[in-house]
Amino acid sequence: MIGDVLLDTPLVRALYHEGFEVHYLTCRVPSEILARNQHVSRLFRREDYRFFELLKRVRENRYHALFDFMHNLWSMTLTAFSGADIRAAITKDDAIFPYNFKIAPPYEEKPYSVFHRLEFLRALGMDPEGFSVGLEFPVPEDVLRAMEGRLREAGWERGEFLVAVHADPKSPVRNWLLDRFLRVSEMLVDEFEARVLFIWTPDKKGMLEMALASVKTENVSLAPPTETLNHLGALLRQVDLFFGMDSGPRHIAISQGTPTFAIFTHASPAGWTPPDDPKHGYISKGLPCQPCGKPRCPLGTYECLKALSAEEVYGRLREFIKRVLKK
């Protein structure tokens, strides 16, 4: 959800610059991505309304267009009774109800997901070509300063090669083994004298602390607390590299201009990586079943995860660091 909201920001910006007033509906946590976005006039949080109360608000606003990015039963019902003149979505096969404009993304020609979202401009009679695909997440300056203070308290010094690792994506198809992340982290310390920080959430802090206890270097540790998405954005703005699974934190790092290197399993790297941008690298095993696009392995083997060794991942990561970061 966090990544989806970030990937919508180029479309939001394009609509704003073309003179449209943009309202956006999402859940409470990802709404933080847009809370300071100057291109959003009004932000609705789903948890703040019962369905019929929200529907009433939508109908009262008499929207010219409603773009449904979720295309589930809840969003389809809201769309059907919204009263919007244009109701658009990316739909599979010939499914159309309750929409009167079907978006047909150029999957082969332009696989990056942002291009698919910009295709919604066609529903308004606009050509999506030429609009920036840059992701936006403005982090408050006071949060940036606070995070820099936390990093200094943790022993970080300017000039150190600082790497943020995200090893907890909460998804079976993105669950690369933690001991392999630790092994890669140790190799980063050995070769590049990196300081490696593992991003954590309160529910997984204990597990990560136990795992990190086996690491023989103090240069691999937990990151400072990132209790909000703003704090996570501030951390990822100040590191030199994000390394982890393809996930929401990676898209946040991309929005902050930080180089990223991601492990891809079920998803297509081209679909979730900015095109023609050498700052963002990845590795995928390239099995015949990839990308399956499924939340769980259809074969039950998760070979795309198991077959990627720490040494193979580090080899590609090492090449990326030398080429992009000139280390």
Domains 2-124 and 141-325 share a fold: yes
What are 108-143's pLDDT values in tens digits?
999 999 999 999 999 999 999 999 999 999 999 999
- Partners of residue 222 on adjacent β-strands: 198
Model pTM score: 0.95
CATH homologous superfamily for the domain 141-325? Glycogen Phosphorylase B; (3.40.50.2000)
Is there a contact between 161 and 194 (Cβ–Cβ < 8 Å)? Answer: yes
What one-character-per-residue DSSP string does 257-324 give?
Answer: T--EEEEESSS-GGGSS-TT-TTEEEEE---TT-----SS-TTS--HHHHT--HHHHHHHHHHHIIII
Q: Cα separation of 174 and 263, whole Å?
A: 8
The pLDDT of residue 94 is 65
Q: Cα separation of 279 and 274, whole Å?
A: 9
Structure tokens at 293: 């696009």
Q: How many CA atoms lie within 13 A of 45 on its CB side?
A: 10
Residue 306 CB neighbours (<10 A): 11
Domain map of the chain by residue range?
A: 2-124, 141-325
Is there a contact between 226 and 256 (Cβ–Cβ < 8 Å)? Answer: no
Instruction: Return the exposure string of 78-108: e unless at least 16 CB atoms fall within 10 Å of the residue's CB, then b.
Output: bbeebebebbbbbbeeeeeebbebebebeee
Per-residue 3-state assignment (H helix, E strand, C coil) for 206-221? HHHHHHHCCCCCCCEE
The pLDDT of residue 95 is 63
Structure tokens at 202: 């309160």
Residue 64 CB neighbours (<10 A): 11
pLDDT-above-90 percentage for the chain: 88
What are 233-281's pLDDT values in tens digits?
999 999 999 999 999 999 999 999 999 999 999 999 999 999 999 999 9
The pLDDT of residue 33 is 97
What are 163-184's pLDDT values in tens digits?
999 997 678 888 899 999 999 9
In order of 245, 266, 313, 316, the CA distances from 287 in angstroms are 17, 10, 15, 17
In this prediction, residues 26-32 reach a mean pLDDT of 95
User: For 2-124, which CATH class?
Assistant: alpha beta
Radius of gyration from C-alpha coordinates of the chain: 21
What one-character-per-residue DSSP string does 111-168 give?
Answer: -SHHHHHHGGGGGGT---TT-------PPPHHHHHHHHHHHHHTT--TTS-EEEEE--
Is there a contact between 273 and 282 (Cβ–Cβ < 8 Å)? Answer: yes
Q: Cα separation of 123 and 265, whole Å?
A: 33
